[in-house]
Amino acid sequence: AADLSQKKAEFLPLASFLYANRDPMRVGWYNTSSMPLEKDFKTDAKRPVGSFFVQLKPRKNEGEYQLALRVLRDGSHQFLLIREFTNGNTLNHKRYLTIPFKLLIGAIQGEALRSLFPNDHVEFGGWRHQVTYVWETPELLMKSFTRSGTQTILQKDFMQGEEYTIPWKNLRSDLELEPLAVRDPLFIRKDKSGLRYAFYRIQPGDTLYSSVVIRFIGNIKHAARSQNASDLLVLNGLVDAHQLSPGQLIKIPLEWIRPEYLHQVPSIYRISEKTTSTEKVSPPEHQPSIENGRHKTGSYYRTQIISQR
């Protein structure tokens, strides 16, 4: 019984959020006791290296395959994992499933990170992360926020209250934390699944091929353009590319948009090549404190730039 209670405590959620304005979810951290402990050089103690998890509910009448498509990376090939998460039981839309963070789509991961770290925000040059919990490690931060292959000079002795800026070039784009801007007549919004897309409103005389594919996607080869048009039909639930109505919205994956229509980062958030790491150390009277496992912010923090590749 004691072991069971301890296991439940390890999976205690730390924050909750509403994904896509309809799906309640919870996020937390658990101690992977089988993994090695990491030495804290300031206290000469050891901290466990753990992982994030997200708890979510299936939608009513949603099957394993549909749920996997909605929430898992490469869901069409990973749907059998849902059965593992339910221990072979039937899906119940009233009960939460616990799913490892790394298996979820980037949009859900991004919302989970926003909720788990409420003091994080967009900053000049990148995404500003504030160390909030005693169990945070550089490894956990890097694998959660940054692109594969990003190198770091982060110290092992993470301290609560410290802040680190992750440059936009190193931040994972699929987390959807990066501010985006597109030129008219495109605009950005989230679809019903909670994913960000560029949208175009059909005008009189428009066709999917010439007015959308060639104009905004711009593949040179005819075969590639035809494939884009076919994919857009499926993505938008259309049957006939020639039957478009004025005012109808067409959603386009952001990664398809031609550079001249897509700004990865608005100029206010861009970082110059000369920008280097800065540092401010908290005076004693402003040292951050911990209350109920959450971070209370002080007035000054040490700030560093996560290294470029």
**What does the block give as tokens for 227?**
């494939």
Task: Give all strands of the β-sheet with 249-252 in edge-to-edge order.
Answer: 187-190, 196-201, 249-252
Instruction: Select, from the ranges 8-22, 48-62, 201-215, the one with the highest average predicted confidence (pLDDT).
Output: 201-215
Q: Considering the domain boundaries, does residue 271 fall inside one?
A: no
State how beta strands 163-167 and 303-305 pair.
Answer: parallel
Do 192 and 241 lie in one domain? The reply is yes
Q: Which domain holds residue 309?
A: 122-179+276-309
Q: What is the CA angle 255-259-260, rounded to 5?
A: 140
Do 45 and 161 lie in one domain? The reply is no
- Of 85, 116, 147, which one is at a domain's C-terminal end? 116
String of b and e for 88-122 (b: at least 16 CB within 10 Å)? Answer: eeebeeeeebebebebbbebbbbbbbbbbbebbeb
Gap between the Cα atoms of 190 and 194, Å rounded = 5
The residue among 153 and 247 whose pLDDT is bigger is: 247
Can you give the pTM of this predicted structure?
Answer: 0.67
Q: Which amino acid is located at 40 in the chain?
A: D
Reduce the DSSP state of residue 175 to 3 states and report it.
helix
Q: State the average pLDDT over residues 164-176.
A: 91
Do 111 and 2 lie in one domain? The reply is yes
Do 41 and 150 lie in one domain? The reply is no
Q: State the average pLDDT over residues 91-106.
A: 95
What mean pLDDT is reported for the chain?
Answer: 78
Q: Considering the domain boundaries, does residue 269 fall inside one?
A: no
CATH of the domain at 245: 3.10.350.10
Q: State the average pLDDT over residues 273-280.
A: 36
Q: What is the CA angle 86-91-97, rounded to 5?
A: 50
Do 24 and 105 lie in one domain? The reply is yes
Do 193 and 173 lie in one domain? The reply is no
Q: Considering the domain boundaries, does residue 247 fall inside one?
A: yes
The pLDDT assigned to 52 comes to 94
Do 173 and 296 lie in one domain? The reply is yes
Do 46 and 77 lie in one domain? The reply is yes
In the chain, the number of structural domains is 3
**Is 267's pLDDT higher than 80?**
no
Q: Are 288 and 295 in contact (CB under 8 A)?
A: yes
**Is 95's pLDDT higher than 70?**
yes
Do 30 and 77 lie in one domain? The reply is yes
Instruction: Select, from the ranges 72-76, 95-99, 137-141, 256-260, the one with the highest average predicted confidence (pLDDT).
Output: 95-99
Do 129 and 105 lie in one domain? The reply is no
The pLDDT assigned to 265 comes to 53
**What does the block give as tokens for 204?**
């009189």
Do 71 and 204 lie in one domain? The reply is no
Please give the distance of CA 148 from its chain centroid, rounded to a whole number. 14
Do 3 and 98 lie in one domain? The reply is yes
